[in-house]
Chain A
Amino acid sequence: MKLLKVFTRGLWNEIPPFRLVLGLCPTLAVTRSAEDGLGMGLAVIFVLACSNMLVSSLRNLIPRQVRIACFVVIIASFVVVVELLSQAFFYPIYQSLGIFIPLIVVNCIILGRAEAFASRNGIIASGLDGLGMGLGFTLSLTVLGSIREILGQGTFFGAEVMWSSFRPFSFMVEAPGAFVTLGILLAIMNAISKSHQS
């Protein structure tokens, strides 16, 4: 029961990047299309779950003073794994994500979970926390990518979805569209959780 809670927390109560405003750069940069958002999300799930489990299993061996450096090395190793795997098997996605694959290293969500959760909890709980947070992140990125792709290009996962006379807003696929869409989604989430409380 407790483990289920650990898993589902990342899906709504603490869903990144909305509740924890961390990890914004990939959120803004790779959500030009739903496909890119999903690809980035999957890479983050892998790195987050693996690094959480490894950090958790080493938590009694790592001295407190150098823990951050150790976490960073662990995360970086898994990122290199993702980088090489995506280069070998998913080359188009590897190309469209560009430098944002190595930049998963500096995604604050991953280091944040290692520090706040995995260094204090068991291996299974940490793995589930990583999976939950990763899934939440993937969900957010895919939603954001879908909105931007539908409005900005009139397509969804590459398939035409809008009527034929639809003129795409090129604003949405550029940087300003990313900031504004994320800001509006954040405001909607705030409004929903406020009305739940009252």
Chain B
Amino acid sequence: MEYIVLVITAVLVKNILLAQYLGNCPFLGTSKRMDTAIGMGVSVIFVMTIATAITWVVQYSVLVPLKLEYLQTIAFILVIAALVQFVELFLKKFAPPLYSALGIFLPLITTNCAIMGVALLVILKGQTFPEAVLFAVASGVGFTLALILLAGIRERLEVSAVPMALRGAASGLIMAGLMSLAFFGFVGVDGSLKALIQ
């Protein structure tokens, strides 16, 4: 049951994009069209889950026993960079249309703070391995949800008369702000769910 609360918290209440401010560059970059938004979302879920699982193992079976915790930042970013390279090769070989659609954003997953952020957060919260993996999946789903919602709004905005100065990133950010306000409605849901279980 705690796992359900964990998932709902990560997807809705503390959405990684709208409440934790992680992963905003790809959020604005790939939300102009629905198909790129879905592609980006799926690759983030995939990379985030594997990256968090690997960095969790690296942290607790290499860095902590060797007392090298101060190298956490370097170790994590190397793991993530290598992993993204692997995903890129994989997609190039097995899903070329997706590969060409995601274009420059796939290498940019390396510099997507959401991936690194989740890897650091699970360590910070001291989560166990299954909790960490589940949290990563749920955060990825939350990321995809917000990305797809914003892409839907921005596709509509594209064909409406928006003032010149607000075109592009400016209106995207304001829309994200309004969405984030809407997601505020979920604050407290995690607390009441917890109470319900007990």
Contacts and interface: CB of A to CB of B under 8 A. Distances in A.
Contacts of B81: 68-69, 72
B96 interface: no
A68 B71 CA distance: 19
Main secondary structure of the interface of A (DSSP, over half): helix
B197 interface: no
The residue among A28, A179, A182 with the most chain B CB atoms within 10 A of its own CB is A179
A96 interface: no
A180 B112 contact: no
A176 B180 contact: yes
A178 B174 CA distance: 9
A187 B170 contact: yes
Interface in A1-54: 21-25, 28-29
**What's the interface size class on B, roughly?**
35 or more
Contacts of A184: 170, 174
Contacts of A174: 180, 184
B74 A73 contact: yes
Main secondary structure of the interface of B (DSSP, over half): helix
A79 interface: yes
Contact of B21 (A69, A107, A178, A190): A178
A72 B83 CA distance: 14
A36 B116 CA distance: 21
B70 interface: yes
Interface string B166-198: 110111111011101100100000000000000
Nearest to B24: A24
Contacts of B184: 174, 176
Interface residues of A, number: 42
A139 B192 CA distance: 42
A183 B178 CA distance: 11
A111 B111 contact: yes
Interface stretch (A98-106, A124-132, A151-159): A98-106
B129 to A, nearest CB: 20
Nearest to B114: A25
B19 A175 contact: yes
26 contacts: A21-B25, A24-B24, A28-B21, A29-B20, A72-B81, A73-B74, A76-B74, A76-B77, A103-B113, A103-B117, A103-B120, A105-B77, A106-B111, A106-B112, A106-B115, A175-B18, A175-B19, A175-B21, A175-B180, A179-B177, A180-B177, A182-B173, A183-B169, A184-B174, A187-B171, A194-B165
B73 A80 contact: yes
Contacts of B170: 183-184, 186-187, 190
Given A25-B23, A108-B111, A183-B170, 6 more contacts: A21-B25, A25-B113, A25-B117, A102-B72, A106-B115, A180-B173
Contacts of B180: 174-176, 179
